[in-house]
Chains A and B, each alone.
Chain A
Amino acid sequence: MGKFIARRLLLLVPILLGLTLLIFIFTRLLPGDPATTLLGERATPENIALVRESLGLDRPLHEQYLQYMGGLLQGDLGRSFITNRDVVDDFLQRFPATIELSLAAMLFAITVGIPMGMLTAKRRGTWVDSAGTIVSLIGISIPIFFLGLMLKWLFAIQFPILPDSGRIDLVEFYIPRVTNFMTVDALIAGQPAGVLDALRHLILPALALGTIPLAVIMRITRASVVDVLNEDYVRTAHAKGLRGSTVDGRHILRNALLPVVTVIGLQTGLLLGGAILTETIFTWGGVGRWVYDAVIARDYQIIQSGVLLLALIFVLVNLVVDISYAFLNPRIRHS
């Protein structure tokens, strides 16, 4: 196992190296540059030249790339062209918000998706199965921005039981940012009511963001459980008089879980890449919106380094998923 992990980590080096070059080329292929975006209607040729010079964009491309790589090798991911903030600081300040939201969304997707998948599989062909299929279809096809706006309209404005946006009630609670995980920071600040408020703020965005993973997890669970249900060992388990819940948990779910875990891993990786629409609708302040804004503003430093960090995290999450296979299925471990 150790060798496997080491090999995978080693593979990261060429992947990330190739990625830096790809992203660099990609950003430079985008029309326009930060200077014109920065200046808007005030972009006279003289002003553009001045800004390009001050950002170092007037230098040859290979020089720009080498300078970027030089910084990277020394652990310097650069500073935003627009705000001059350190990219790593910016990332670390926003990423906890993204993790918090992603975990909440996945918690919702898993705790609802797996039982629903199990239920529809066991009652396949009945109205429960049909209802489940419809729900999952809606879940996959409904646009997030529409769902988000509807959830807000319903639960924050028409029936105001949940907050409409943000991560905490800034008027009620003064929470010094330590970890940037709002729930953790509220705990550190010794404000349990703040923790509850932070959790309340998580509900609507988590529902909006978790809907697609929920639908995917539910469908995969259903398909996988249907396969397992027909296996001999399940019949044997029932025949030898095991309780239904024991058969469900130990024999069906455990064997059906492998593809589900794969999907959960992939979906989590995707969510950690940031959820631009959800973050925009609920003013969440995570990495998705950050990178999106950087692309719009052609803030090359953030695009290059931000995407690199996100890619690194995506690869690592997938590594964790691969490792978890081994624990779920000893056959993989032995092979």
Chain B
Amino acid sequence: MRTWRLFSLFAVLALVLAACGDGGASPSEAAESEPATESEGAEPSAAASDGGGDGEPQAGGTLVFAGAALAASLDPSQTSDGESFRILQQIYEPLVDLAPGTVDELEGVLAESWEGEPEDTVYVFNLKQGVTFHDGTPFNAEAVKANFDRWDNFAEEFQGNAYYYGAVMNGFGETNLIESVEATDEYTVTITLTQASPTFLYGIALTPFSIVSPAVLDSTNADDPTASTLGTDVVQGGTGPFILDEYTPDDSAVLVRNEDYHGDHTAYLDRLIIRPIADPAARLQALQGGSVQGFDLIAPGDRDAVDGVDGFQLINRESYNSLYLGVNPTATDNGPLADLAVRQAVAHAIDKAALIGPFYGGGGSEADCFLPPTSGWYDSVCADVDALAFDPDEARALLEGAGFTEDEPATVNFWYPTEVTRPYMPDPRGLHEAITTMLEDVGFVVEPGSAVWGTEYIPAAQAGEYDLHFLGWTGDYDDPSNWYGVHFGYDAEGNPAAQFGCDVDGLEDAINEAEASLEEEARAAAWGEVAQIVHNEVCFITLVHGDTAIALTDTVQDYVANPTGSESFVDIWLSAE
């Protein structure tokens, strides 16, 4: 009998709790609700108006936003992924950053101005005055120097995760790009490079180059790999529009407005809460259920659940990526792909336009060049790239001309990764099936293969073990070297990238010339030459530039998407309805 009573009690309790609820906050209710931590004295940073989607920004409210994960580390220098950047770039700031919505326009953040062109080796940064870190200590030239010195002298244990420092500064050893960093006076920093680097400024605009308060670096033992708490503890080391208030791994990051922010205005939001929701379907349900007011990376197939639906809005983020089909002539000894005509047949067989609707929800474009159209270099570098158009008849003719028939077909292995999705590759298996069908349609025999992404697929693809394979790239900073150079660069011994096995006459020289070209026009022409070679030789076939999108309730205003995903929440505000 006692158990029956317990059962009844449980049932009643459940009903009471359900009834106690506010019925699941609707989007507008959630936006209106007063946060418990709102400080009484907080001055609205903009004149409060009657609200409305297109009215004046108004201060107040809490925005709960979902990403796929929280930060891998709270130490900016130790991060290299977009989810980490999303949180950290609200808290920390670099000297320069990309202007909102652009991939190639730099603007000063902690630096008011700077002198230095791509062909220079000396950069002088004039720092913003009157900026304080969240811990109250002043920002100045010594703080910048302390951070550069820290990165430059990273213990081995830190070097592995400091991917971007290594990539931008040519590693940590003798090849390091930094010759010296001097605090010329309190608000002037002079950085001298060992050689000119046209990507230096774009590189230091990345979140890992954010400046952390030297006092916080000290108090968190940031230089000691076994004792550092900078990556794990809630500290007040940034200068950004939000201060990290609470951080619970796998649960939430709570950020509050920095009332002393040095920018044009303080953040409009009182609080910004980032929640990690790994599953895209769960992110959508959280938006529909009202527990978040926005989330990133909507599944392409779910776009219609938000776009044009009452109470919601979809912000399209134009692609800054490329999906490509790696075509490796050396993966199989004397394989059919060693013949250029067969590689061209692969390219002619693929109908790129047919991939965009089913796999990208319409959010994407055909990739005729590795650089996406959002790149500032697209027009100049890609102008003369002649992408091979979809032409199955031509593909069949090329195969026939190469000596392949129905009885003796061209057989290729074609691999795709599992346990992964990427903005440029939302459904690897589906894409693989679609392209396999296209290849078989013109007469190829395809041997399919799949492998786990990070652990098997990437190493095998990088080692050049696959005839055909999917991979892609999202740009780090806007320079053609970050696209063509990273993929087709030769190693110190003069070997081509094993992934593509693309050893074409003149390619190595063309890449070396492009890397050495500092002046913009010459650089564009030189990289254009590289692009033509690798596309003409069909070392790879660029397929799709995949857009991503942010889903929001219609109360969230002024979210400006950036193709790189680098987005500040300082301008975002909540309207009443």
Residues of A near any B CB (own CB < 8 A): 30-33, 35-45, 47-48, 50-55, 82-86, 89-90, 93-94, 97, 107-108, 110-112, 114-115, 118, 149, 152-153, 155-157, 160-167, 169-174, 176-177, 196-197, 199-200, 203, 245, 248-249, 253, 280-283, 285, 289-290, 296-298
On whether the beta carbons of A54 and B64 are closer than 8 Å, the reply is no
On whether the beta carbons of B156 and A280 are closer than 8 Å, the reply is no
B160, B282, B472 pick with most chain A CB within 10 angstroms: B160
Would you list 5 pairs from A and B whose C-beta atoms are within 8 A, ordered by A residue? A32-B454, A35-B160, A43-B462, A54-B157, A200-B21
On whether the beta carbons of B248 and A172 are closer than 8 Å, the reply is no
On whether the beta carbons of A31 and B456 are closer than 8 Å, the reply is yes
On whether the beta carbons of B459 and A171 are closer than 8 Å, the reply is no
On whether the beta carbons of B462 and A44 are closer than 8 Å, the reply is yes
What chain B residues lie within 8 Å of A114 (beta carbons)?
Answer: 3
On whether the beta carbons of A42 and B80 are closer than 8 Å, the reply is yes
**Which residues of B473-523 have CB atoms within 8 Å of chain A's CB atoms?**
473
Among candidates A89, A111, A163, A169, residue contacting B7 with C-beta atoms closer than 8 Å: A111
**Which residues of B130-158 have CB atoms within 8 Å of chain A's CB atoms?**
156-158
Indicate if B28 sits at the interface (CB-CB under 8 A).
no
Indicate if B42 sits at the interface (CB-CB under 8 A).
no
What chain B residues lie within 8 Å of A94 (beta carbons)?
Answer: 249-250
Segment of B272-280, B307-315, B350-358, B406-414 engaged in the interface with chain A: B272-280
What chain B residues lie within 8 Å of A155 (beta carbons)?
Answer: 18
Assembly CA distance A328 to B231 (angstroms): 50
What chain B residues lie within 8 Å of A44 (beta carbons)?
Answer: 462
Among candidates B21, B231, B250, B419, residue contacting A161 with C-beta atoms closer than 8 Å: B21
Indicate if B35 sits at the interface (CB-CB under 8 A).
yes
What chain B residues lie within 8 Å of A199 (beta carbons)?
Answer: 13, 17
What chain B residues lie within 8 Å of A107 (beta carbons)?
Answer: 10
On whether the beta carbons of B248 and A163 are closer than 8 Å, the reply is no
What chain A residues lie within 8 Å of B159 (beta carbons)?
Answer: 50, 54
Measured CB to CB, the nearest residue on chain A to B155 is A54
What chain B residues lie within 8 Å of A112 (beta carbons)?
Answer: 7, 10
On whether the beta carbons of B289 and A39 are closer than 8 Å, the reply is no
On whether the beta carbons of A83 and B73 are closer than 8 Å, the reply is yes
What chain A residues lie within 8 Å of B19 (beta carbons)?
Answer: 161
On whether the beta carbons of A93 and B249 are closer than 8 Å, the reply is yes
On whether the beta carbons of B290 and A160 are closer than 8 Å, the reply is yes
Interface bits B66-103 vs A (CB < 8 Å: 1, else 0): 00000011000010100000000000000000000000
Q: Give chain A nearest CB distance to B502 CB in angstroms.
A: 16
What chain B residues lie within 8 Å of A54 (beta carbons)?
Answer: 156-161
B20, B33, B473 pick with most chain A CB within 10 angstroms: B20
Assembly CA distance A84 to B161 (angstroms): 10
A36, A110, A283 pick with most chain B CB within 10 angstroms: A283
On whether the beta carbons of B37 and A45 are closer than 8 Å, the reply is no
Assembly CA distance A282 to B285 (angstroms): 10
Number of interface residues of B (CB under 8 A): 75
Question: Which 3 pairs of residues, A with B, have the shortest CB-CB distance?
Answer: A32-B455, A54-B160, A164-B289
A31, A47, A48 pick with most chain B CB within 10 angstroms: A31
On whether the beta carbons of A36 and B455 are closer than 8 Å, the reply is yes
On whether the beta carbons of A37 and B455 are closer than 8 Å, the reply is yes
Indicate if B251 sits at the interface (CB-CB under 8 A).
yes
What chain A residues lie within 8 Å of B9 (beta carbons)?
Answer: 111
Interface bits B251-282 vs A (CB < 8 Å: 1, else 0): 11010000000000000000001011111011
Indicate if B291 sits at the interface (CB-CB under 8 A).
yes
On whether the beta carbons of B10 and A169 are closer than 8 Å, the reply is no
Indicate if B41 sits at the interface (CB-CB under 8 A).
no
Assembly CA distance A110 to B4 (angstroms): 11
Assembly CA distance A266 to B246 (angstroms): 36
What chain A residues lie within 8 Å of B80 (beta carbons)?
Answer: 42
What chain B residues lie within 8 Å of A169 (beta carbons)?
Answer: 25, 291
Assembly CA distance A253 to B286 (angstroms): 43
Q: Give chain B nearest CB distance to A7 CB in angstroms.
A: 34
Among candidates A45, A160, A174, A245, residue contacting B36 with C-beta atoms closer than 8 Å: A174
Assembly CA distance A248 to B3 (angstroms): 10
Among candidates A86, A89, A165, residue contacting B291 with C-beta atoms closer than 8 Å: A165
On whether the beta carbons of B459 and A36 are closer than 8 Å, the reply is yes
Indicate if B450 sits at the interface (CB-CB under 8 A).
no
Q: A36-B459, A41-B458, A111-B6 are in contact. List 9 more A-B contacts (CB 8 A).
A: A107-B10, A157-B285, A166-B275, A166-B291, A170-B252, A170-B254, A203-B17, A280-B279, A283-B277
Q: Give chain B nearest CB distance to A302 CB in angstroms.
A: 11
Among candidates B157, B160, B254, B289, residue contacting A160 with C-beta atoms closer than 8 Å: B289
Assembly CA distance A41 to B462 (angstroms): 9
Q: Give chain A nearest CB distance to B313 CB in angstroms.
A: 18
Assembly CA distance A107 to B458 (angstroms): 45
**Taking A30-B455, A31-B452 as contacts, is the C-beta distance between A111 and B289 under 8 angstroms?**
no
On whether the beta carbons of B25 and A171 are closer than 8 Å, the reply is yes
Indicate if B47 sits at the interface (CB-CB under 8 A).
no
What chain A residues lie within 8 Å of B156 (beta carbons)?
Answer: 53-54
What chain B residues lie within 8 Å of A52 (beta carbons)?
Answer: 160
On whether the beta carbons of A156 and B285 are closer than 8 Å, the reply is yes
Indicate if B288 sits at the interface (CB-CB under 8 A).
yes
What chain A residues lie within 8 Å of B279 (beta carbons)?
Answer: 280-281
Q: Give chain B nearest CB distance to A5 CB in angstroms.
A: 29
On whether the beta carbons of A84 and B249 are closer than 8 Å, the reply is no
Measured CB to CB, the nearest residue on chain A to B75 is A84
On whether the beta carbons of B18 and A203 are closer than 8 Å, the reply is yes
On whether the beta carbons of B291 and A164 are closer than 8 Å, the reply is yes
What chain A residues lie within 8 Å of B471 (beta carbons)?
Answer: 41
Measured CB to CB, the nearest residue on chain A to B252 is A170
Assembly CA distance A93 to B419 (angstroms): 27
Q: Give chain A nearest CB distance to B423 CB in angstroms.
A: 12
Measured CB to CB, the nearest residue on chain B to A286 is B250
Measured CB to CB, the nearest residue on chain B to A297 is B454
Q: Give chain B nearest CB distance to A59 CB in angstroms.
A: 13
